[in-house]
Structure 1
Amino acid sequence: MTDSPGWAAPGSPSDGQGSDADRPAAQPSGKGTTPAQAPGDANTPAQAPGPTADAKWSAAQPPPGQWDSPAPGRTPQPATPPAQQPPAAGWGTQPGSPYQYPGGWGSTPPAAKPGIIPLRPLGLGEILDGAVGTLRGHWRPVLTISLVIAALTQITLLVIQRTWLNDLPTAGEDLTPSQAVKLMGDTALVYASQYFLEILGLVLVTALLAPVVSRAVLGQASTLSDTLKAVRPLAPRMLALTGLLLLGAVAAVFLPVLPGILTGSAALTALGIPVGLVLLAWFYVTFVLAPPALMLERGSAVAALKRSAKLVKGSWWRVFGISLLIWLIRTITAMVIVMPFAAIALVVSPEGLSGLLDGTAALSWSFLLISAIGGVVGATVTVPMQTGVTTLLYIDQRIRREALDLELARAAGLHGYGTATTAERPGG
């Protein structure tokens, strides 16, 4: 039992059990008897026993403090001593939970919040709010790092587009079978390159911004120089982890379709595509926490992969759902940001709307450059949201499984935090 606000002491008036010291002493009475006369009151005549008293008062009364009369024809149950009465359950009360608050109805006690999140297991709203709070409160290092990675990614994608799509036939041309196959292969290569470049950017931004998010959790400020200083010793390991993740993603996608490609079977290739997508989703979610694990635990690349798999185990669907939700939010937000740039690119492009319909506009430098600028702006704003959610998921999983909140509280200078037992802590 603690003295913190929000606790209701057992036996207090708040839970319907008044103190026996505040009640008048009950006089013993039997059937047909009346209360005893007060001493010294000799002039008061004693009332004779009769049926009137039996009809008005029952021999067994309900327990004190319970505002409920027994139903007609039902024998009242004997009162349970106050010390043996179980606490009243409310909305959301967990069985065996030590928390019973007046007006709280089974809610958890307020946790310490030195930074962007409370130091306890997090909900979806708190994770999203923490990611946005990191972007809002530490925008200088966040946007600078995100801008550099987004610019490098878009430049690489622009080169790939110009290299593989330069000699593609237009929509009005009659395609031979070999040209159709080449068109499909080059288009698939461009989209695959775009996807893997996006994964690369997410991994790098997540790793680079993990120290910023960890400082934001502790309520500490971050600068670009401090972030780079923390990241610089781990740069070789970060690059090794990025390479392993890219190789794993490529293997998850292409291994299932490789038999169909080698045998020339279109049906076998089509069958391997959904299998590859499922494997890619499993691979991504299983190792999504590896970048923050590497940067915050400072282990090797292989150790970070094992750490992510261990933290995600048993919570795969939760991590998958949150990651998918933030990916949808980020994609929709990025599309809204890119749309004005795409409209400007169509206006500036010599071919205009007709060039967009026949595919020639996508090959002009003006269209590609303006679209790339829009992609850089959209990625700069939205990628930190997803990477922040990933780092907070890592912290949340460690709080749930390893009581990381105690270490975070000590690092934040919260003296006396965590003196309660594990059962008394939220989520313990």
Structure 2
Amino acid sequence: MSDTPGWTSPGSDPSSEERKTGAAGAAEPTPSDTPPPPSEPTEPTAQPDDAPRNPDAKWAEGQPPPGQWSAPTGAPAPDQTPPPPPGAGWGGRPPAGSGGWGGPGPAAWGNGWGGPPPAAKPGVIPLRPLSIGEILDGAISTMRAYWRTVLGISLTVSVLVQLSLLLLQGVILKDTTSKLSDPDVSPGEALRSLGSITAGTALVGLVSVIGTIVATALLTTVTSRAVLGKQVGIGEAWRESRGQLLKLLGLLMLLGLITVVVLAVGMVPGLVLGAVAGFDAPAVALLVLGILAAVVVVIWLTIRFSLASPALMLERQGVLKSMTRSAKLVQGSWWRVLGVQFLAGIIANIVSALTVIPFTIIAFAVNGENMTSLLGTGGQPAGWSFLLITAVGSVIGGTLTLPIKAGVTVLLYIDQRIRREALDLELARAAGVQGSAPGTTPGPVPGS
């Protein structure tokens, strides 16, 4: 009997037909074949003149060829089949790692048997609780697998932000700096110059905020599709996310307002004491302690609400509801979320520095500027060539770092939902993965 075509069962040998013939012949014993009973010893007494025994003599008709099996310890009965050679027979397992016929055998017990099947991975991450390395790798894999969409979004935003900053530095700041450095400037001209600087800075900040909002919304959509292994273009990402842009703007404004209020509250006691009793040592110490305490609270709130943006975009929540969702997901994992975000920030800053610093050095070499000109502490403002070269470096740095930070935030949000809400099962169904293994969701994984 054979379970698989071309496969021979363990324990069989080429002489199986001979054993079948021998067994059939032994089914009808003759008187000469019947061994004597045990109570009547038949062992003859050795005689000195006996001739040597014939080595080819058989102890039974069904005996296999010499040397095929080991010699039995006793004479078998006529109706018994000779024992099979050592090894696994029907229903037995071959030794661990034995090749057998056709390849290596299975591993030993406990060496891969009984463990859970691997988690499905339809996209850039496996659908199970993620380690820190898998979150970072997922963000980079998204940028690599969807590079046209991801880099197209981040490049567009970076170009717009750097273009506005370039105009501010090359036109507004250059003109106003020259006027403010003139000792004969009138108070009215000085105020107008300061107003121009303020308006230009506000314009650059507004462009930066809008660009960040658009990039965050689009990259959130792209990363969520990358988890499912589905393709998405810039147009499709825009259509899916544009309905939440105003809510995302409101969320960022509210978070910024909370930051300002907390810092102001921390400074109030020191400022009040300084206004009443003078800014002596106690007032200054109280002011510094208040600022430090406010910074700690701001960091705590920032991490607590760090997952509000993907919650707002992917769950179609409102501003306050998304903040509540983020606080719920971060609860109990605050330090882990802080560590992942901090590590992602370090990686993004390193990548940005590695791209900006070489272009800055080239700008100094081409334009002949020195550090004094760069900082604006003396001499002439930086020229256009210097600004253009450094802007190119900043565009490249922003293009590479925006997807990393946005991708890590989205994958961290998905990881927290997998750990708390078994989102992996829902993602597996959405990705069309059949037979997802149960029991792989609970509990952290090594390195998480």
Q: Pick from 140, 153, 156 the counterpart of residue 148 of structure 1.
A: 156
User: Aligned-pair distance for 1:414?
Assistant: 1.4
1:108-149 deviation line (CA, Å, top 9, x unaligned): 641011111111000111111110110001112211221233
Does residue 397 in structure 1 map to residue 416 in structure 2?
yes
Partner residue in 2 for 1:378: 397
Q: Pick from 355, 367, 383 the counterpart of residue 373 of structure 2.
A: 355
User: Aligned-pair distance for 1:348?
Assistant: 3.6
Partner residue in 2 for 1:255: 265
Does residue 427 in structure 1 map to residue 447 in structure 2?
no
Does residue 344 in structure 1 map to residue 352 in structure 2?
no
Task: Name the CA shift for 1:328/1:159 in 2 (closer, same or farther; >3 Å).
Answer: same
Asked if 2 retains the 8 angstrom alpha-carbon contact of 1:238 and 1:294, the reply is yes
Q: Which shows bigger deviation, 147-156 or 101-110?
A: 101-110
Partner residue in 2 for 1:34: none
Partner residue in 1 for 2:406: 387
Partner residue in 2 for 1:116: 124
Does residue 271 in structure 1 map to residue 286 in structure 2?
no
Distance 1:382 1:225 in 2: 22
Does residue 289 in structure 1 map to residue 297 in structure 2?
no
The one-letter amino acid paired with 1:410 is: R
Structure 2 residue runs of 5 or longer lacking an equivalent are 1-35, 42-107, 181-199, 444-448
1:314-353 deviation line (CA, Å, top 9, x unaligned): 1000000010011011101100100111112222445435
Distance 1:101 1:213 in 2: 41
Task: Name the CA shift for 1:153/1:248 in 2 (closer, same or farther; >3 Å).
Answer: farther
* 1:1-400 alignment, distance < 5 Å: 41-42=38-39, 102-103=110-111, 109-155=117-163, 157=165, 167=177, 204-261=214-271, 263=274, 265=279, 266-349=284-367, 351-353=369-371, 355-356=373-374, 359-360=377-378, 363-366=381-384, 367-400=386-419
Asked if 1 retains the 8 angstrom alpha-carbon contact of 2:329 and 2:417, the reply is yes
Asked if 2 retains the 8 angstrom alpha-carbon contact of 1:253 and 1:277, the reply is yes
What root-mean-square deviation, in Å, do the aligned CA atoms of Structure 1 and Structure 2 show? Answer: 3.8
Partner residue in 2 for 1:408: 427
Q: Percent identity?
A: 45
User: Aligned-pair distance for 1:239?
Assistant: 1.7
User: Aligned-pair distance for 1:101?
Assistant: 7.8
1:141-181 deviation line (CA, Å, top 9, x unaligned): 211221233234334555666767954999xxxxxxxxxxx
Distance 1:269 1:160 in 2: 34
Asked if 2 retains the 8 angstrom alpha-carbon contact of 1:147 and 1:380, the reply is yes
Distance 2:416 2:204 in 1: 30
User: Aligned-pair distance for 1:213?
Assistant: 0.7
Asked if 2 retains the 8 angstrom alpha-carbon contact of 1:351 and 1:361, the reply is no
Distance 1:227 1:196 in 2: 23
User: Aligned-pair distance for 1:197?
Assistant: 8.7
Q: TM-score, normalising length from structure 1? A: 0.64
Asked if 1 retains the 8 angstrom alpha-carbon contact of 2:267 and 2:290, the reply is yes
Task: Name the CA shift for 1:357/1:122 in 2 (closer, same or farther; >3 Å).
Answer: closer
User: Aligned-pair distance for 1:387?
Assistant: 0.9
Q: Which shows bigger deviation, 238-247 or 102-111?
A: 102-111
Structure 1 residue runs of 5 or longer lacking an equivalent are 1-38, 45-99, 171-189
The one-letter amino acid paired with 1:234 is: Q
Asked if 2 retains the 8 angstrom alpha-carbon contact of 1:257 and 1:273, the reply is yes
Residue correspondences, number? 315
Distance 1:192 1:122 in 2: 40
Distance 1:196 1:313 in 2: 32
| Bigger Rg, structure 1 or 2 | 2
Distance 1:105 1:324 in 2: 39
Distance 1:376 1:297 in 2: 31
Task: Name the CA shift for 1:138/1:211 in 2 (closer, same or farther; >3 Å).
Answer: same
